[in-house]
Structure 1
Amino acid sequence: MRHTLPIAPQFYVTAPQPCPYLADRMERKLFTALQGQGAERLNNSLSQQGFRRSQNVLYRPSCADCSACLSARIDVKAFSLSRGQRRTLKRNAHLTRRATSPWATDEQFDLFRSYLDSRHADGGMADMDVFEFAAMIEETPIRSRVIEYADQENGTLTAVSLTDVLDDGLSMVYSFYDPDQHRNSLGTYMILDHIEIARETGLPYVYLGYWVPGSPKMGYKSRFSGLEIYRGGAWHPLDNPESHDAARHPLSTDPIAEQVANIQLPDRWPTTS
């Protein structure tokens, strides 16, 4: 029997491109492939270190002179509803939740296109076709679910979240909803329902992606109590959103080599024989 050494994940950096959140800035990402026998463990470990999943890739912002993007998650035990969030739940009481395997449907794609055309017509996903959409939903090497929200009376699909199930929580990879129902705050509603799912299943966190101080697109995340941000290699409660800014500084991020060296990989990495 021949044994080979375990193959550790290889990390790479994207070329700089315009930042989608803050004007006049360039973004860069540190990323690695998510594949093979260790995909589940790697996803769990790196998600706890501020990484996010996109299909079979894990990535984290690694901009040259900016560290504004902060990974965010909700501590379910520390969360409590605000008055506005209670109203959001009441406005959407007519919706029913259904969880399915990560399989794309025409109904999902139609809703996705309406959402993009209305909310993100100039975004990086604006040109996605049905095949690329199917890949986004279905190409997942880890435990994922599609959480759909439909009208109880007529069954009309109203909102969708592609959600990963981690060891310590739920990660909302991507969500979209009916743009004509903007008064119902469907994005907030889906987060509130994911908090409830996490409570029902005994999971301590709901991962929300990145919170970016100074970005109107991301400001809503700071309105959830129990929010934590990943900074300096650890998770910290977001006590005062106003205490964080998006100032640039040449020393705001560590060199790539140091960032990679400080990443904690799973204790046991699979070997082949």
Structure 2
Amino acid sequence: MTAPFRFPRFFVTSPAPCPYLPGRQERKVFTELTGPHAAELNDALGRIGFRRSQGVAYRPSCAGCTACVSVRVVTHDFSANATQRKLIRRNADLEVTACRPWATDEQFQLLRRYLAHRHPGGGMAGMDEQDYADMVEQSPVNSVIVEYREPGVDGRQGRLVGACLTDRQADGLSMIYSFFDPEIASRPGLGSLIILDHILRARAAGLGYVYLGYWVKGSARMAYKVRYRPIEMLGPRGWMRMADEDLATGADTRARALA
């Protein structure tokens, strides 16, 4: 009996400044997602903490640091709190569509506004339209762009206010990258809404998880990821539900608790 795919070759990047923790260096291990079994390989790697970027799956492999922790929301046990329920009701008029992964100028202009407002000078700030098209369209797996639009008028399509590049894996949805209009005063919380919508979508499809990527203790940019409970983190013994004390302790204490 043969394996469904050949064991991949892994590579390691050179150290570079960590974008989340000042004064630290990041390093990644990665492999290519190619061939007829790319989706199966991506699923298998996703369950052990890898993320996809175009045709590559990667995960942190930093010397002397384990601060980046893979997290995923348990969709079947998720129960929105009062604030989250209010957010869903307030945006119930949005028209949400899962589109094929094809980049549009409207999406790119929204991304530019989002990056300029939320991440000026960040690693993606210099993206041009071709870079964005590559990010969206170069997917060897089952991907969609989920669009969030305001209601249309007179049969015309409404304004695009949010979008998310999403992979459907065997056990859940993986949110690769989401962005939204950060300057709509009448619709605060669009980023949270996109996550909540993915949780509800995954549950309706019978999928157990929504993968949110990496959470970094002490990074304000990552704090939002643990607002959706129950949430699991990947540790030395596999996926385990995060308890309140996990949010209040550092990476070293968390590692000791899982050992």
When normalised by structure 2's length, the TM-score is: 0.90
Counterpart residue number, 2:43: 44
What residue is the counterpart of 1:8 in the other structure? 7
1:179 aligns with 2:178: no
Which residues in structure 2 correspond to 1:151-162 (within 5 Å)? 151-154=150-153, 155-162=158-165
Q: Which residue of 1 aligns with 2:250?
A: 245
SS state at 2:144 partner: strand
Matched, 1:205 2:186: no
| AA aligned opposite 2:206 | G
Deviation of 1:90 (Å): 2.2
Larger CA deviation: 84-93 vs 171-180? 84-93
Q: Distance in 1 between matches of 2:129 and 2:27?
A: 27
CA distance in 1, matches of 2:181, 2:248: 34
Deviation string 1:158-210 (CA, Å, 9 cap, x unpaired) is 00000000000000000000010376211110010001111111111110111
1:77 aligned partner: 76
* Structure 2 Cα separation of the partners of residues 8 and 46 of structure 1: 11
> How many residues are paired up?
245
- Specify which of 207, 225, 229 is matched with residue 233 of structure 2: 229
What's the TM-score once normalised by structure 1's chain length? 0.86
Q: In the TM superposition, what is the alpha-carbon distance from 1:244 to its structure 2 partner?
A: 3.5
User: Does structure 2 conserve the Cα–Cα contact (< 8 Å) formed by 1:148 and 1:160?
Assistant: yes
Match of 1:259 in 2: none
* 1:132 partnered with 2:137: no
Question: After TM superposition, which residue ranges in structure 1, 4 or more long, deviate above 6 angstroms?
Answer: none
Is the counterpart of residue 196 in structure 1 residue 200 in structure 2?
Answer: yes
TM-fit CA distance, 1:243: 4.1
User: Identity over the aligned pairs, expressed in percent?
Assistant: 49
Q: Which runs of 5+ in 1 are unaligned?
A: 1-5, 253-273
Distance 2:247 2:6 in 1: 43
63-72 vs 76-85, which moves further: 76-85
C-alpha contact 1:49 1:233 (8 A) present in aligned 2: no
Asked if the contact 1:91–1:184 (Cα under 8 Å) also holds between the matched residues in 2, the reply is no
Q: Which moved more, 1:163-172 or 1:153-162?
A: 153-162
Runs of at least 5 residues in structure 2 that lack an aligned partner in the other structure:
none
Question: SS of 1:136's equivalent?
Answer: helix
Residues 94-109 of structure 1 aligned to structure 2 (within 5 Å): 94-109=93-108
Q: Look up the match of 1:141.
A: 140
Amino acid at match of 2:225: K
CA distance in 2, matches of 1:244, 1:30: 26
Q: CA RMSD in A?
A: 1.7
Deviation (angstroms), 1:153: 3.7
Distance between the aligned counterparts of 2:151 and 2:50, measured in 1? 36
Whether the 8 Å CA contact 1:99–1:146 is kept in 2: the answer is yes
Rounded to whole Å, the distance in 2 between the matches of 1:88 and 1:166 is 27
